[in-house]
Amino acid sequence: MSWLNRLWSPWRLEYIKSSDNAKKECFICNASKRPADPESLVIYIDGFILIILNRYPYNNGHLMVAPINHKKDLEDLTSNEWNAIVKGLLLSKKVLDAIYKPQGYNIGMNIGKIAGAGLEDHLHLHIVPRWAGDTNFMTTISGTKVMAQTLREGWEIMRKEIEKLKA
């Protein structure tokens, strides 16, 4: 007798369907045009950068900081954009510290497809909050990540926290 456990995650179908869509507009550029829309997942935007929730996160609170201008190469960033990215990283950490109180972070860029970049043509920095045990038997044995909060809930509380920090 065989058995098979299922963990339903229908929201992943959007990702599967979109993976072959070469004509798809850059999601970061698209989000920067409608930052107040909850579907954009933008939690912060200024004249140089935006901070956006990762639609396919490794953990709750997985953020990305990206220049608003569509740039592929590090060398193309202006000093203002670089400074804004660093400030965005610090703001992201403050927000995540206040809301989620992570025990650590993974922070970095995947530049080029071979390095793991899902979006190769628009630079972005990942900030992934980490906790002891966030990779457990579900992740290790079944290749499944259990997410404790919806993206919409995370978007709402992070935008509120940014407003408090700006006040």
Q: Are strands 63-67 and 125-130 parallel, antiparallel or unpaired?
A: antiparallel
Answer whether 36's CB lies under 8 Å from 30's CB: no
Taking phi over 0 as left and psi of -120 to 50 as alpha, with beta for the rest, 41 belongs to left
Neighbours of 96 (CB within 10 A): 22
Residues 13 and 25: their CA atoms lie apart, in Å, by 18
Out of 62, 70, 122, 124, which one is annotated catalytic?
A: 124
Catalytic residue check, 124: yes
Query: Which residues are catalytically annotated?
Result: 124
